[in-house]
Homo-oligomer: A and B are copies of this chain.
Amino acid sequence: MGVVIPLDGSPSAPSIDPLLRLTSAGMERVNQLIFDRVGSDVQLIPEIARHLVNSGGKRLRPMLTLACAELCGSQGEGAVKLAASVEFMHTATLLHDDVVDGSEMRRGKLAARMLWGNEASVLVGDFLLGQAFKMMVEVGSLHALDVLSTAAAVIAEGEVMQLAAAKNTSTTEDEYLAVVRGKTAALFAAACEVGPIIAGRDRDEQAGCRSYGANLGIAFQLVDDALDYGGASAKLGKKVGDDFREGKITLPVVLSFRRGTEAERAFWKRTLEQGDIQDGDLEQAIAIMRRHRAIEDTIERARHYGAMARDALALFPDGDMKDALIEAVDFCIARTN
């Protein structure tokens, strides 16, 4: 566990608090809207949906929609509805992911599929996706609809890609990045891009926010990958080694496999491809990663995308919201300390 060293002589470690504070009024409206829209006469739906909604996610994606809309001068109901849509899309993805991965836990709680079964999880996911689209349609921006529905297709494509790449320890870094662009960065990018769209801002602002979101999304995922092998992940409610136990091929694995010896490659194939995991294997995995600097270099790669995210916002005039969004990037990277 390292110590966060503040950069540029700033008095404290980078924090997500400014972003939380600046979006808190809007997020209250988003949360209210989410509760309103998970209602259904089919009782199972609000039951499962409330389980998810209460499960303590940070709601980073809808927060980004509100922040980017406000950065562009919009605080209207449109941004709130698009933000809630983004969160519904995200929740639907989580429900479907847990079914596909056979996950037992989600954010430190039992996954919905363990409580209500796979079928209900798939269908409630579809319901949330439907509600998301209904809300987007209410907003009435065809452009925002185009961006978010394209993201939905790309996310699904990314999941299928991941399915195809699953259990392949010799996945290249480029192939893994393509998966990350689909499963994580696409929604971050869309969540940010609809902010300037709903605010009626021009192409440059849209492209800037999109690029900020996409690169923050990649950095976020790579940091998550690194945390899963030894970062201070307690705050996430996610135990170290989840990815390993699920046989997920993430960047620390990609780098370790490629840089490793034949014996080490045999270890990764046994544990991740064949799923034959024994006592001490996680410790062994982390030791191999440390030997090849795979976790450090995963974070180093994340820094690159973080730098791109920061530059993407540079065109916007200085102000609290821009500062908060940039600090969120630094916070994301600093989580690995």
A-to-B contact residues, CB < 8 Å: 170-175, 204, 207-208, 210-211, 214-215, 254-255, 257-259, 297, 300-301, 304, 307-308, 311-312, 314-315
- Which B residue's beta carbon lies closest to that of A303? B304
- Chain B residues near A175 (CB-CB < 8 A): 207, 211
- Which B residue's beta carbon lies closest to that of A258? B314
| 7 interchain residue pairs of minimum CB distance | A258-B314, A304-B304, A172-B211, A170-B204, A174-B211, A172-B207, A259-B314
Contact: A312 with B204, CB < 8 Å?
no
- Chain B residues near A172 (CB-CB < 8 A): 207-208, 210-211, 312
Contact: A308 with B173, CB < 8 Å?
yes
Q: How far is the CB of A75 from chain B (nearest CB, A)?
A: 25
- Which B residue's beta carbon lies closest to that of A171? B207
Contact: B214 with A174, CB < 8 Å?
yes
- Chain B residues near A208 (CB-CB < 8 A): 170, 172
Contact: B315 with A258, CB < 8 Å?
yes
Give complex CA distance A257, B315 in Å: 8
Extra 7 A-B pairs, beta carbons < 8 Å, given A258-B312, A300-B307? A172-B210, A173-B308, A175-B207, A257-B315, A258-B311, A258-B315, A301-B307
Give complex CA distance A301, B171 in Å: 23
Contact: A307 with B297, CB < 8 Å?
yes
What is the predominant secondary structure among interface residues of chain A facing chain B? Answer: helix
> With A297-B307, A304-B301, A307-B297 as given contacts, are A174 and B312 in contact (CB-CB < 8 Å)?
yes
Give complex CA distance A255, B311 in Å: 7
Give complex CA distance A172, B210 in Å: 10
- Chain B residues near A173 (CB-CB < 8 A): 211, 308, 311-312
- Chain B residues near A307 (CB-CB < 8 A): 297, 300-301
- Which B residue's beta carbon lies closest to that of A317? B262
Give complex CA distance A255, B312 in Å: 9
Give complex CA distance A215, B301 in Å: 13
Interchain residue pairs with CB less than 8 A apart (25): A170-B204, A170-B207, A170-B208, A170-B315, A171-B207, A172-B207, A172-B208, A172-B210, A172-B211, A172-B312, A173-B311, A174-B211, A174-B215, A174-B312, A175-B207, A175-B211, A255-B311, A258-B311, A258-B314, A258-B315, A259-B311, A259-B314, A297-B307, A300-B307, A301-B308
Q: How far is the CB of A151 from chain B (nearest CB, A)?
A: 15
- Chain B residues near A210 (CB-CB < 8 A): 172, 174
Give complex CA distance A301, B207 in Å: 20
Give complex CA distance A12, B248 in Å: 41
- Which B residue's beta carbon lies closest to that of A202? B170
Give complex CA distance A204, B168 in Å: 10
Give complex CA distance A255, B211 in Å: 13
Give complex CA distance A173, B308 in Å: 7
